[in-house]
Amino acid sequence: MKNGVDSIDINRKKSLIRSKELDNIAIDDMEHKSKVRIGFSEFSNKLYTNTKNKILKELNASEEDWNYPKWQLKNRINDVDEILKYSNLTKEEYEDIKNVSEKYRFAITPYYFSLIDFDNPHCPIKLQSIPNIEEFKEFGQLDPMNEEQSNPSGKITRRYPNKLIINVTNACPMYCRHCQRRRLIGNVDKNTSKKDIDESIDFIKNNPTIREVLITGGDALLLSNNKLENIFNKLSQINHVEIIRIGTRTLATLPFRIDDELAVLLRKYKVQVSTQFNHACEITPEAVKAIDILVDHGILVRNQMVLLHNVNDNKYCIQKTNEELQKYRVIPYYLFHPKDIKSTKHFQVDISKGLEIMKHLEGRTSGMCKPTYVYNTPLGLGKVPLVPIENIEYDEDGYKFTTWENKTIKKH
Ligand SMILES: *Cc1c(COP(=O)(O)O)cnc(C)c1O
Ligand code: SF4
């Protein structure tokens, strides 16, 4: 009896010591995470309202205009002289943006532009949207994924047995400087022709192996609801198509595009949504309003983040961003290793860095907010999940694991 009580005491004592140890790890993480800029903060709100008010005044527009997606698109900032109206640029910065944009155009919704912190040279919003002189650096390829040779019909990209992509437009509300499809952005925004869409749908109709269709672009939500419904309707009549998914970044770049009417349409065809938030500061009150509309209508929303140097290649930033996503009911899905796309040298990260970030996430945060880190292999051979190599090893003694704290232990 006495022994039993003693061992309970010992267990409790050991548990308390371990609990304290875990507290110390968490406290350290919390301190680092508190330095990551988030969308819900006084700082972000101040930046946003300041620039927003300047733009509204300059364009003689109202709050109502601002919240109207067509107004946002019509008034995209796409000229260096416009940037100059709302921020101070050095002569050199001005010249650089001007020179780069002559070769690689830019366009930023007033909404996204208003989130830029011009005082921070590494502002994640700025790095993702404003042309950078580094884009001229010799590097990479236009089409490393060989998309041009995975196109069996219309505007389809097919690399997998039972799923494929239809590209329905080359347009996006904001052109990400790191975009893997930069070569398709061109100089004009163009929706895919009716002929190409019909051809793509016919291909799917004639291929009973295809159970999932991804509608993407560009940004699929730049199509009108009517055009979207037309596509959803045709696909839903094909018996073997079980899932329709759309790819859109409007939640981050043009959240006003998401309204009840759209959500009802997506719900009708049980469309699932993939989006792209790359940094916690993109998860603003406006973005969360858009997320809420979708999720409250029962739409599944998953996030595909891209690992980008100086934007988010920091373990606490990735942790915080995924925790914010989980908090607002977006499922972290992928963390993409950046591809070697021409003119994106300054965004490149070594795979070892990505693995270090994944190792950090392992035990330190909820399993519900951990994406799968993937590398999209060259030649369009598909995505490969990347996990720290030491996590599981095998030799004559059997399997050996390395835990989140780097403790090694053999399988029973
Ligand atoms: C990534 C990708 C898909 C979708 O893959 P998931 O892993 O299901 O998200 C489909 N087709 C192509 C060509 C892709 O590159
Ligand atoms: S939203 Fe997607 S397709 Fe459009 S520019 Fe950004 S990364 Fe490219």
Q: Summarize pLDDT for 345-360 with one digit per residue, the tens.
A: 999 999 999 999 999 9
The full DSSP string for 236-297 is HTSTT--EEEEE--HHHH-GGG--HHHHHHHHHTT-EEEE---SGGG--HHHHHHHHHHHHT
Q: Are residues 184 and 261 in the same domain?
A: yes
Residues belonging to the chain? 412
Residue to substitute in 104, 125, 176 for testing ligand 2 pocket (most ligand atoms within 8 angstroms of CB): 176
Asked whether 181 lines ligand 2 (CB < 6 A), one says: yes
Please, which pLDDT band fits residue 2 given cuts at 50, 70 and 90? low
The torsion angle over the Cα atoms of residues 57, 61, 67 and 70, rounded to 10 degrees, is -120
Asked whether 175 lines ligand 2 (CB < 6 A), one says: yes
Please, which pLDDT band fits residue 380 given cuts at 50, 70 and 90? confident
pLDDT at 182 over 80: no
How high is the pLDDT of residue 323?
98
- Residues 261-305 pLDDT 10s: 999 999 999 999 999 999 999 999 999 999 999 999 999 999 999
Instruction: State the chain's mean pLDDT as an integer.
Output: 95
Q: Which one, of 109, 42, 130, lies nearest residue 256 by Cα?
A: 109
- Residues 386-400 pLDDT 10s: 999 999 999 998 999
Check: CB of residue 116 under 8 Å from CB of residue 123. yes
Cα–Cα distance for residue pair 244/269, rounded to 1 Å? 8
How high is the pLDDT of residue 144?
73
Calculate how far, in angstroms, residue 379's C-alpha sits from the geometric centre of ligand 1: 14
Calculate how far, in angstroms, residue 223's C-alpha sits from the geometric centre of ligand 2: 15
- Residues 55-99 pLDDT 10s: 999 999 999 999 999 999 999 999 999 999 999 899 999 999 999
Residue to substitute in 73, 143, 172, 189 for testing ligand 2 pocket (most ligand atoms within 8 angstroms of CB): 172
Residue to substitute in 143, 175, 214, 222 for testing ligand 2 pocket (most ligand atoms within 8 angstroms of CB): 175
Task: Tell me whether residue 127 is in a domain.
Answer: yes
Calculate how far, in angstroms, residue 166's C-alpha sits from the geometric centre of ligand 1: 11
Task: Tell me whether residue 81 is in a domain.
Answer: yes
pLDDT at 1 over 60: no
How high is the pLDDT of residue 406?
93
Q: Which domain holds residue 174?
A: 147-384
Q: Are residues 85 and 163 in the same domain?
A: no
Q: What CA–CA distances, in Å, run from 348 to 135, 307, 315?
A: 12, 8, 16
Which residues on adjacent β-strands are paired with residue 108?
Answer: 77
Asked whether 172 lines ligand 2 (CB < 6 A), one says: yes
How high is the pLDDT of residue 147?
75
Task: Tell me whether residue 408 is in a domain.
Answer: no
Quote the tokens at residue 139. Answer: 């590097």
Calculate how far, in angstroms, residue 68's C-alpha sits from the geometric centre of ligand 1: 32
Task: Tell me whether residue 218 is in a domain.
Answer: yes
Q: Which SS3 state, helix, strand or coil, does residue 160 take?
A: coil
**268: CATH:** 3.20.20.70
Of all residues in the chain, the percent with pLDDT exceeding 70 is 98
Task: Tell me whether residue 248 is in a domain.
Answer: yes
